Amino acid sequence: MKAHDTMYIGGEWRPAAGPGTIAVVNPATEQVIAEVPAGTAEDVDAAVRAARAAFPGWAATPPAARAARLAALRDALAARTEEIAETVTAELGSPLKLSRAVHAGTPVRVAASYAELAASYAFEERIGNSTVLLEPVGVVGAITPWNYPLHQIVAKVAPALAAGCTVVVKPAEDTPLTAQIFAEAVHEAGLPPGVVNVVTGVGTVAGQALAAHEDVDLVSFTGSTAVGRRIGATAGGAVKRVALELGGKSANVILPSADLAKAVKVGVANVMTNSGQTCSAWTRMLVHTDRYDEAVEAAVAAVASYRAGDPHDELCRVGPLVSAAQRERVRGYIERGLAEGARLVAGGTETPHDTGWFVTPTVLADVTPEMTVAQEEIFGPVLCVLRYEDEEDALRIANGTVYGLAGAVWAGDESEAVAFARRMETGQVDINGGRFNPLAPFGGYKQSGVGRELGPHGLAEYLQTKSLQF
């Protein structure tokens, strides 16, 4: 077994200050596959000091040279595609095919986009008699979740590096092995020591120490709203910048004129991907009452091809959930939905396998907007189908949660879909099945968060302005 007992700080692999470790468990087999150090405040402090020491040099590195390092990071990640995919499958449980295409593939695209942006971005602008300099914010603390373990890291580190910031990453305790591979890629890419540091550890110890560290200038967090709220409060108290990418309860709005079969099929795929552990998933499908039964039938038919099974099987489309706790949480929501009057049309709480933290892909029909399953983030392979009476009703339901991260609209006519999307309180909307764009800003309205990731908007988060008047 490969050694995982050190952390990447100041350009080298160092043992942790304390003796604690975290066991990494394969959610499909329930077997321990590795142990990583449980970093403490002392390790976080060492990493922040390394990042601080590296900051002036990296900030002064010309953008073209920063771009060259980002291009090298892109290549180092691309060269590790298979290792990344195997590792994500082992510690998260996502199907190998998805691990290759998305978990390993998307970070390469995002790193590539920031290699280009670093080279082309205007870090200086003219406004009237002023020259405005866009300067790096400083040392970034990045706290990331397990659901897209490499993407979430790269979506923070790549723009931070492009901006000229240095970073300390605290990855999720459930997926630290992917973060270690990322650190190896950073090293191979020739980033100067201390520019990127990775401290493994648990959230309440290492995460909290990073969020509260007085020498961190910006905290970028992705995860639950509960933790995000606390991090926002801590950052506010210290008057430091904060970016929060939190939960979602996105709506897939199928207007009466839509190609219903396609909208349902794509909608089901969207929810089942990554076992439903996607913050931007369209977990509420909204269908006009006249076409409701047809839609439920189509959803049941579509979900039949998503049987939860061995993620190493090339044909597998749904793996287990990341942890036993997550499975219990999701089953609890299914039970709650049924208790509140939803109708089970596919799946349910019964476990499909004796071993592994699986949940059977589930469809709940007759879900009404006030039900818990229509309001709270489930984070599992559970689709809720709701009915609406007219367009105003659909809009009220779509906007009727505390969240606003993503969504979809389907209509016979693109302009009809766009008109509806304009009225949605959410950060991203896919029109008639629009494709993922790694340059489009990603982030939330309302309690889905503060700030944006990806593309030039994501880069701007890591910059501050200085105006020179002439």
Among 307, 242, 295, 248, residue whose Cα is nearest residue 427: 248
For 225, what's the count of Cα atoms within 13 Å in the CB-facing half-sphere?
18
* Contact status: 143 vs ligand NAP (CB under 6 A): yes
Token duo for residue 181: 């591979």
* Contact status: 455 vs ligand NAP (CB under 6 A): no
**What is the pattern of x (binds ligand NAP, CB under 6 A) and - over residues 257-296?**
----------------------x-----------------
**What is the pattern of x (binds ligand NAP, CB under 6 A) and - over residues 369-388?**
--------x-x---------
Q: Which helix (H) or strand (E) holds 299?
A: helix 292-303
The catalytic residue positions are: 245, 279
Name the residue nearer to ligand NAP (CB basis): 43 or 245. Answer: 245
Residue nearest to ligand NAP as judged by C-beta position? 203
Alpha carbon of residue 440 to chain centroid: 14
Name the residue nearer to ligand NAP (CB basis): 217 or 245. Answer: 245
Minimum gap (Å) between residue 204 Cβ and ligand NAP? 5
* Contact status: 351 vs ligand NAP (CB under 6 A): no
Q: How many residues does the chain have?
A: 470
Among 223, 347, 407, 438, binds ligand NAP (CB under 6 A): 223
Name the residue nearer to ligand NAP (CB basis): 143 or 417. Answer: 143
**What is the pattern of x (binds ligand NAP, CB under 6 A) and - over residues 418-447?**
------------------------------
Amino acid at 434: G
Residues with Cβ within 8 Å of residue 206, at least 6 apart in sequence:
38, 39, 40, 41, 43, 44, 170, 199, 200
What's the Cα-to-Cα distance from 119 to each of 105, 113, 140, 194, rounded to whole Å? 22, 10, 21, 22
Among 98, 86, 409, residue whose Cα is nearest residue 273: 98
Minimum gap (Å) between residue 311 Cβ and ligand NAP? 18
* Contact status: 224 vs ligand NAP (CB under 6 A): yes
Name the residue nearer to ligand NAP (CB basis): 172 or 300. Answer: 172
Alpha carbon of residue 245 to chain centroid: 8
Scanning residues 153 to 182, which ones bind ligand NAP (CB under 6 A)?
A: 170, 172-174
Quote the strand ranges of 403-462, DSSP E: 407-410, 430-431, 449-450
Name the residue nearer to ligand NAP (CB basis): 39 or 136. Answer: 39
DSSP 8-state symbol, 274: G
Q: Which residue has the tokens 């723009």?
A: 159
Name the residues that contact ligand NAP, by CB under 6 A: 143-147, 170, 172-174, 202-204, 207-208, 211, 222-224, 227, 230-231, 245-247, 279, 377, 379
